[in-house]
């Protein structure tokens, strides 16, 4: 890894409390531009809560989130996406009744900075060929080209997971939040997803939340470990693997 990277996302002392229980308790984290940063931790450590705080679905009780130099505190979910912070969902969240192609075109169309506003009421969408072309390219990247006309709800679980990633990619994000992209996948599907993420990693910074340790250690440049709402360690995979505190708190109960 090269030196002097810039910090793209900084999570500073973020806390979130649900009815007296701290899901996040002063969690801090920095994602540098260009890296694949994995976030691991046992169940209930607060990983999903952190993703929600980053995407804007939840408001933190304390702490700050700075993305690309901007404080996100008062930014609603949609403007975070417009700033370049895209997410995928742990539980597949697509448009099941639309075709696979329409799923991706509507995601590509969201990039108002490239195509202009979608408050256009008269001109038919069919003239926006560039949007559709780009959607086809995205489908090629996630190996769904042959299924473009299918209804998204009819895809297999693994294909839906790929579509999920394509939707997040469509915004050409600076940072991609992947929330357990391998969730519920068989070994073959997982292998394909690891390859896809590895391929994407060359172009986009990622914060990867994942349970599959094998995948995490293969993909991540750096790893942060979240335990009981606090990040207890951050470092390169080998350092994390060797960290005694991490082993005790987390890896110990897996091994």
Query: Among the candidate windows 63-71, 75-83, 216-224, 229-237, which touches another protein by CB under 8 A?
Result: 75-83
DSSP annotation of 143 reads: T
Binding status of residue 160 toward another protein by CB under 8 A = no
Taking CB under 8 A as the criterion, the residue among 12, 151, 174, 247 binding another protein is 151
Pairwise CA distance, residues 229 & 45, whole Å: 5
Distance CA 208, CA 206 (A): 6
Token duo for residue 52: 């929600």
The CB-of-112 to another protein minimum distance in angstroms stands at 8
- Using CB under 8 A as the binding rule, the residues of this chain from 197 to 216 that contact another protein are none
User: By C-alpha distance, which of 97, 121, 98, 117 is closest to 109?
Assistant: 117
The DSSP code for 99 is: B
- Is residue 123 involved in binding another protein (CB under 8 A)? yes
Residue 22 in the binding site for another protein (CB under 8 A): no
Question: How many residues lie near another protein (CB under 8 A)?
Answer: 39
Q: Which is nearer to another protein, 47 or 80 (CB)?
A: 80
Q: At what angle do helices 129-141 and 100-109 cross, to 10 degrees?
A: 120
Q: Shortest CA distance to 106 belongs to which of 123, 136, 80, 131? A: 131
The residue from 30, 33, 106, 251 that contacts another protein (CB under 8 A) is 106
* Paired strand residues for 87: 177
| Interacting residue ranges for another protein, rule: CB under 8 A | 55, 76-79, 81-82, 86-87, 89, 93-99, 102, 105-107, 109-112, 118-126, 128, 151, 167, 170-171
């Amino acid at each position: 890894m090269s030196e002097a990277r810039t910090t793209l996302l900084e999570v500073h002392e973020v806390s979130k409390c649900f009815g007296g229980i701290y899901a996040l308790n002063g969690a801090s984290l920095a994602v540098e531009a260009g890296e694949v940063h994995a976030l691991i931790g046992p169940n209930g450590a607060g990983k999903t809560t952190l993703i929600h705080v980053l995407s804007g679905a939840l408001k933190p009780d304390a702490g700050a989130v700075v993305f690309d130099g901007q404080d996100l505190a008062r930014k609603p979910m949609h403007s975070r996406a417009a700033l370049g912070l895209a997410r995928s969902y742990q539980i597949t969240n697509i448009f099941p009744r639309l075709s696979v192609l329409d799923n991706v075109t509507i995601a590509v169309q969201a990039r108002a900075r490239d195509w202009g506003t979608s408050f256009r009421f008269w001109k038919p969408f069919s003239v926006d060929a560039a949007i559709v072309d780009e959607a086809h390219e995205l489908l090629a990247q996630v190996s769904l080209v042959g299924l473009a006309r299918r209804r998204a709800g009819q895809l297999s679980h693994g294909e839906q997971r790929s579509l999920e990633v394509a939707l997040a990619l469509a915004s050409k994000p600076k940072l991609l939040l992947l929330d357990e992209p391998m969730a519920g996948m068989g070994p073959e599907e997982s292998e394909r997803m690891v390859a896809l993420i590895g391929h994407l990693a060359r172009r986009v910074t990622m914060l990867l939340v994942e349970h599959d340790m094998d995948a995490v250690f293969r993909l991540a440049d750096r790893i942060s470990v979240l335990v009981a709402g606090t990040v207890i360690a951050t470092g390169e995979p080998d350092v994390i693997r060797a960290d005694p505190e991490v082993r005790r708190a987390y890896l110990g109960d897996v091994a």
